[in-house]
Amino acid sequence: MSAAYASPPADEIAAVTLTDAAVEEAEFSQRVLIRSIIGRSDGGAGLSGATVRVGGWVKTGREQGKGSFAFLELNDGSCPANLQVIVDAAVAPLAQLVATGTCVHVEGLLKVPPEGTKQKIELRVQKVLDIGAVDPAKYPLPKTRLTLEFLRDYVHLRPRTNTISAIARIRNALAYATHTFFQKHGFLYIHTPIITTSDCEGAGEMFQVTTLINDAEKLETELIKNPPPSEADVEAAKLLVTEKGEAVAQLKSAKESKGKISAAVAELTKAKENFSKLEERFKLEPGIPKKDGKIDYSRDFFARQAFLTVSGQLQVETFACALSSVYTFGPTFRAEHSHTSRHLAEFWMVEPEIAFADIEDDMKCAEAYVKFLCQWLLDNCLDDMEFMVKNFDKSAIDRLRMVASTDFVRLSYTEAVAILEEASKERQFENKVEWGIDLASEHERYLTEVKFQSPVIVYNYPKGIKAFYMKVNADNKTVAAMDVLVPKVGELIGGSQREERYEVIKERILEMGLPLEPYEWYLDLRRYGTVKHSGFGLGFERMILFATGLENIRDVIPFPRYPGRADL
């Protein structure tokens, strides 16, 4: 902002219609997006003379000219840049407008500022339509530079910061690009369930979904308020049923009138209902219901154990085996008690599944998809990426360009281990390198950042470290699995050709100590019309980490959930 301003003379304010200046209001709100003003190639200068309404939040504001007017830097989230707004003291009380965080909706005239200022256009306010005031003494996000760690304590307010708003736009762009890529290639978007009864990964780190605890708590409260009947009460009710039953029998044998018999039957019915209720309440026991010493899940909401899904893959395979090319994109959950910068309890996965496709087709699709995402950000989100380069990772844009334009290196797991073993002679890895290990992040980053300086696809992993559903290769030692490794984050995508042979996958399930019953429906896909098919999963937050250069996954998801934290 420049301080060399006086309050705008009234005779400078001349109304020009929006159509004259070729800028339109947003279709569903009474404002012009700031992006549509300052995002033009001329920085908005060509709109000078237009009267517009804008709305946004004050990033910074200050009074000038001995309190005769104020400068506001206004942002509405449509782009990283702010619109400079000038408000005269005669238009509105300046003290209500200048505090950081204040929301304002204003109408005014766009004008080209004097030469020598960095702005190409500014707004001279004629009318303040609305103010969402802020008490600067209490507002928790001051003007000073804030750490990302600090912002995690204000999840509900952090989208107002430049960094989190830029990440939100980048995340939105990558989500849009994901749907664009798969729709362009004929994939159908399938909504897979969040609640599942089967464990895709077989790791057992799942969040259980149950109403048994709530039901038990409600029962305890109810029994305190309304204690259960005694055994004597139940016996008395049972005796009354017997007596009423005998009375009905006597009336029938005496061939009494229909009216008397009906009245006696009604009394018997009432006695039976009362006995049934008393008996049911008498059997109630506080706590979670059990059977044979174990929790009785037949009394649970779904009548069996249920969990939050760790992956939509198994379910989306059912549609791949009928509709050929499908994908799912949604939240997944892991109950892993991890506090690392790469783990969340809730995160999003993109999981395509392709029928009539082998591991080669799978790798080809994964490479094309990652390249598409990188190029999409370069084409559609460059201003936000430039913000990331300036503030977090100077190589972020170069990394996107490299991945978008480079053929991915492909090598087998065995070849990768040989390269790492050779490298370990000259450098110290924290994790020992030997055939059969699951490659650690340091190994993956060595391959991508040091050895090849490009993305790498490693395929044909040892059978013992991969999931039961992966295609067993002819050597019976490896499976047709593949991981896409990229600089900065290591593994970005994990995928495989799925095992379509019934007997083989059945044996794999048993080998891993998993029960067959929850997977019977999955085995049906192999029993009935089995088909060669392949797929992969991309961790969406990892893609954002890779793109932005940020270090912690908690900063690239709107509402991070991790051990000890589930705000909002």
Q: Give pLDDT tens digits for 159-179.
A: 999 999 999 999 999 999 999
Q: How far is CA 552 from the centre of its chain?
A: 15
Strand segments, DSSP code E, in 33-156 are: 51-64, 69-75, 83-88, 103-111, 122-132
The average pLDDT across 261-276 equals 91
SS3 491: strand
Give the pLDDT of residue 17: 37
> Distance between CA atoms of 483 and 470, rounded to whole angstroms?
13
Q: Give pLDDT tens digits for 45-70.
A: 999 999 999 999 999 999 999 999 99
Whether the per-residue pLDDT at 8 is higher than 70: the answer is no
Q: What is the pTM of this model?
A: 0.86
Q: CA separation (Å) from 260 to 240, 250, 251?
A: 18, 11, 8
Q: Do the beta carbons of residue 275 and residue 245 sit within 8 Å?
A: no
Q: Do the beta carbons of residue 396 and residue 549 sit within 8 Å?
A: yes
- CA 43, 44, 48, 52 torsion: positive or negative? negative
Size (the chain), residues: 568
Band (22; pLDDT cuts 50, 70, 90): low
Q: CA separation (Å) from 438 to 446, 464, 467?
A: 15, 10, 12
Q: Give the closest residue to 537 by CA, choosing from 317, 338, 323.
A: 317
> Distance between CA atoms of 542 and 493, rounded to whole angstroms?
9
Domains assigned to the chain = 10-132 (2.40.50.140), 164-209+305-555 (3.30.930.10), 212-299 (no CATH)
Average pLDDT of the chain to the nearest whole number: 91
Look-up of token digits 């238009």: 91
Residue 195's DSSP bridge partners are 308
Among 222-231, 244-253, 374-383, whose mean pLDDT is lowest?
222-231
Residue 106's DSSP bridge partners are 54, 128
Give the pLDDT of residue 20: 40
DSSP for 177-221 reads HHHHHHHHTTPEE----SEESS-SSS-----EE-SHHHHHHHHHH
Whether the per-residue pLDDT at 438 is higher than 90: the answer is yes
Strand segments, DSSP code E, in 116-170 are: 122-132
Among 114-123, 162-171, 452-461, 499-508, whose mean pLDDT is lowest?
114-123
Q: Give the closest residue to 58 by CA, choosing from 113, 150, 156, 128.
A: 128
